[in-house]
Structure 1
Amino acid sequence: MEFFEVFKRRRSIRRFQDKKVPEEYVKKILEAAFYSPSSRNRRPWHFIVVDDGDLIKKLAQTRPALRFLETAPLAIVVCGDENISSAWVFDASIAAEHIQLAATALGLGACWGHVLDRMHSEEKSAEEYIRELLGIPRHIRILCVIGIGYPAEEKPSHSEKEIMPDRVHYNRFGNLWKIE
């Protein structure tokens, strides 16, 4: 797929076919994640690849916004080591977007399910729930879970109508950049 076409085609897919993602695709997706930039090149990421259906169903119970994982054949938990970098949230976010763009380029669908600073229940954070489920150490923070698979829903590509010229300023706020 042509580079800029990937950006237009990347949509949040929340329903997946019951079809396994090939291992070579998983490797390419992870490779894209490791090519993402990070603050001072500290690379604080950790990725947990989950293809066990029972574990994915438990991840889907993290919070209501992650229920879409129930049909995902693959989930990648995106984490960051806060001991390596105080910018781990930003670095892991960039890696998460690389994961979604790589999935799109491979003809797969993907969706980010936010975990950080969200609650699983009144007593337990979403992060703590996943930490216990997957045995993640305390200094490894959990940003999100990305569900990946072959789409079972069709969404249109983004269009130029979504470009917002009133949000682009030139040299000073309020001096709009002319996007033609």
Structure 2
Amino acid sequence: MRDTTDRILKGAISVFIKKGLQATTQEVAKEADVAEVTLYRRYSTKENLFFTAIRNVLEKKFDSQILEIAKETDTKTFLIHIIENRLDLLEKNKDLIKMLLSENLRGNLGNDLNLPEIIFSSLKKGLDYHFKLINHPIDIDFCARQLGGIFLSYIVLPNNKDFNKLTTQEKKEIAKKHAKSILATL
């Protein structure tokens, strides 16, 4: 049973990344190697399958690690780690992120699956945790927006080299530069 669910969710992500909400359940069923009726029995609608598959990925990838990183008591180190982690995560999931941003801008996702809000709220949780831990009050919303701008720029603006293809040292240098600019505003 779990194997079928995993195949369906993996197949759905693969198809939806390529075609967004325009994809058909027939295409998902073929990719997942299940009967189309199986999709309807489990998810009732294509939209429900889409939201379930996307939420599954976002919960596993975007909320994970952020509170662990936030336990770092040195703010510069914390910012460097969060920037490296999020840029690497976003780069590895670039096609999914672009599809979600596109669907969001078209108004197809409503409030059910607002990717910018998911990323923003996740950042705010991590920032809030870190700055409460070190007892340093800051404008969490402003800092999260600064980080969000950095992350969005790596998704939508052209880069000479993908972040996940950089060396560890190159990634660290980029993260240090961004962290330094954020620290200057705190």
TM-score normalised to structure 1 length:
0.30
Answer 1 or 2: higher relative contact order, Cα 8 Å, separation at least 6.
1
Q: When you count strand as a share of all residues, which structure comes out higher?
A: 1
Q: When you count helix as a share of all residues, which structure comes out higher?
A: 2
TM-score normalised to structure 2 length:
0.29
